[in-house]
Amino acid sequence: MSIRYIESTRQLILETAHTSYQMKIDGMGYLNHQFYGPKLGQNDMSYLYRTYDHGFSGNPYDMRNNRDFSLDSMPQEYTSFGVGDFRVNSIASSCSDGSRCAEFRYEAHEILDGKYSIPGLPSVYEGDTQAQTLIVTLLDTAANIRIKLCYGVFDELDVITRTAEIINAGSETVWLRKASSMCLELPFGKWDMIHFYGRHCMERQPERVPLFHGIHTLASGRGMSSHQHNPFVILCDHEATEENGACYGMMLMYSGNHKTEIELDQFDSVRVVTGINDDRFRWELSPATSFHTPEVILSCANGLTELSHRFHRVIRNNVVRGQYKLSHRPVLINNWEATYFDLNEEKIVKLAEKAADIGVELFVLDDGWFKNRVDDNAGLGDWIPDTDKLPNGLDGLIEKINAMGLRFGLWVEPEMVNEDSDLYRAHPDWAMTAPNRAPMMARNQLVLDLSRQEVHEYIYNTLSDLLTKYNITYIKWDFNRPLADVYSHAAPSPRQGEVTHRYYLSLYKIYDRLTKAFPHVLFEGCAGGGGRFDAGMLQYSPQIWCSDNTDPISRLTIQYGTSFGYPVSAIGAHVSATPNHQTGRLTPLSTRGTVAMMGAFGYELDLTKLSDAELDEMKAQIARFKELEPMIHNGLYYRLSSMEDSGCYFAWQFVAPDRSRSLLSIVVTNPLANAAAIHLRLKGLDPDATYSVNGEFEILGAALMNSGYTFPRLMGDYPSMQLDIIKVK
């Protein structure tokens, strides 16, 4: 059993293969957090917590004569608010009488076999693994708010999931102003925070900083998980490395506005609260109704590598759904950087012919294929093929591409609309625009209000019609601007604070309907590149376009940062032209291929302009990737270099699940004259097995891991090298 209740001590204990999570119901009915870390059995960890009179930390009324007892210093599972705990809180609400406080105490709990689900929201599912659920119910008797804290425990995966259901148990309306998914307390220790910031074309840049006293806030209010702050954060011991040290990872499965608050308080205790961003959030909770928060995936491990492996495993096996989650992903070519808007059937056919010759399996037609779409000023919303560009129609083009042995994929941006479109002229109120205010524009487009049912049906029917009418096996779903002027012309004034979250409930429902109706279609997420790279989207899109920046040297850092929480099978990565369109950098084709092989592999350039030698090299790259894909996508991934090394090189390694094969890749970012040799210790091999290294020599796995490998001098413009390490006995 993964979940136990010890009645004598009123402990609730959650256990995975290597971790323990403990909470305790105290004599006052408060649900205290006791421990999360390495597995420790049934020991009552309350001995760790000494109570003291903390002066200005106040006391609950029924403990008014005991100044040692204060919510302001107590580690809690989900906080009360407005009643004496002055740290970051988990929830905030207001009642019909205007009061803004609530004090939650234990009411009941239940232990269930299987994993809970969340109505309307993506969540980790059981699949081939087993899980148990703990539901702890808390109640505030004055505000009549009941909270069900749900914990999903995955023993084999070493993962715990968390969500909260907030219920109006009274007869008056309650307004939620904050509804977080999780509170986690770390009362002891010295911690660093690793977060993943960025911008368009430079997403998920890793940054490690020590916590200082105060509140660290990582948030997006852009209507998407964003390029700027990914909804994933790590707390680790000051001394933690890839191999050792306490590491805690918290990943929110949500694609909209999010916020993580990390407070190092006056008593050196750390509290982490994460969930929907409460800025401009307000949810009307009528009597007998409830609100479900997005799910958090939580894991702790010894070292950053082990933590990453746990997140990679749960996302690959228990987040991603459908036939593509562990199977072969077609090698594709996308025409965007080859043609941009200047496309026509002749160009596309010639590009597809070259692609078929080198072994590409899927042709993706990007932006510009529909009527009035000669630039980004018009056309979004009217998904009708442009017969000037495609005189034989979309079906005629697809027939030609299929005849070459290629599958066909299509780019769409269904959540958007141009003012110059038939859709906008017919339904201007379907766009998000604030009354009496000129809207903010981005890429000359507005956002459709998915919180409206008629908009939901329009988008679903549009995509369903395309997938029914045409032989499309792949959809690249783009989202090229943030949400601003968030206002629904169909919602009453008091409920405008619900619009953004209702937008995502509608989007997830569209995705759910489409993926079930068209299970053969591979969906790739995109939001100006990696602006919606999150576990929520990965429930429906097995891969996400990692960044609009296709420069391989820039991609090294982007993909390195992404790897801390997300598996490489989720990373859309393409070989593009040189000089690169975003940076102007010149790089060898071999290096571009090496970097793109750390992901869902493809191409994005004009093949008709390449030499026969370059095309032959690409043909070899494709054959090599197809051979290695099972290991790359489903094996173990190791970071062999750190950000401190990035000024000289990046190195990473894949190891097959059975340790029979490994691939080590290195890219030199700054060749130095008379420099020390690059020497790396490999990871994850069978120490007792003998391996062939690039067919040059044979050696024990223990030698490669303990003594390492010294690379030959790599010179020139961004040289790269790959080591094939194959078990021979």
Where in the sequence numbering do the catalytic residues fall?
534, 614
Burial of 569 per CB tally in 10 Å (0-12, 13-18, 19+): buried
Element (H, E) at 619: helix 612-634
Residue among 478, 484, 416 nearest 448 (CA): 416
According to DSSP, residue 370 is labeled B
Non-local CB neighbours of 648 within 8 Å, separated by 6+ positions: 668, 669, 670, 672, 675, 678
Reduce the DSSP state of residue 111 to 3 states and report it.
strand
Q: Could you give phi then psi for residue 514, rounded to 5 degrees?
A: -70, -45
The answer to whether residues 449 and 457 touch, using CB atoms and an 8 Å cutoff, is: no
According to DSSP, residue 533 is labeled -
The answer to whether residues 372 and 384 touch, using CB atoms and an 8 Å cutoff, is: no
The answer to whether residues 411 and 476 touch, using CB atoms and an 8 Å cutoff, is: yes
Q: Could you give phi then psi for residue 57, rounded to 5 degrees?
A: -85, 110
Q: How many CB atoms lie under 10 A from the CB of residue 530?
A: 30
Handedness of CA 110, 113, 119, 125 (dihedral sign): positive
SS (H, E, C) 143-210: CCEEEEEEEEEECCCCEEEEEEEEEECCCCCEEEEEEEEEEEEECCCCEEEEEEEEECCEEEEEEEEE
Give one word for 172, left, alpha or beta, with left for phi > 0 and alpha for psi -120 to 50: beta
Across 221-312, where does the E strand assignment appear? 232-237, 246-252, 258-264, 270-276, 283-285, 290-292, 296-302
Reduce the DSSP state of residue 378 to 3 states and report it.
strand
According to DSSP, residue 329 is labeled P
Distance, in Å, from the CA atom of 63 to the CA atom of 476, rounded to the nearest integer, reads: 59
Could you check whether the bond before residue 712 is cis, i.e. omega within 30 degrees of 0? no
According to DSSP, residue 675 is labeled P
In the structure encoding, which two tokens stand for residue 318, read together? Answer: 């228990």
Amino acid symbol at 235: L
Non-local CB neighbours of 522 within 8 Å, separated by 6+ positions: 324, 329, 330, 409, 473, 474, 475, 542, 543
Q: Could you give phi then psi for residue 472, rounded to 5 degrees?
A: -105, 125
In the structure encoding, which two tokens stand for residue 422, read together? Answer: 């038939």
The answer to whether residues 334 and 526 touch, using CB atoms and an 8 Å cutoff, is: no
Cα 445 to chain centroid, rounded = 25
The answer to whether residues 504 and 255 touch, using CB atoms and an 8 Å cutoff, is: yes
In the structure encoding, which two tokens stand for residue 379, read together? Answer: 């056309």
The answer to whether residues 430 and 482 touch, using CB atoms and an 8 Å cutoff, is: no
In the structure encoding, which two tokens stand for residue 381, read together? Answer: 């919303």
Residue 233's DSSP bridge partners are 250
Residue among 700, 686, 676, 691 nearest 723 (CA): 691
CA angle 485, 487, 489 (to 5 degrees): 135
Residue among 342, 276, 202, 210 nearest 503 (CA): 276
In the structure encoding, which two tokens stand for residue 159, read together? Answer: 């993962």
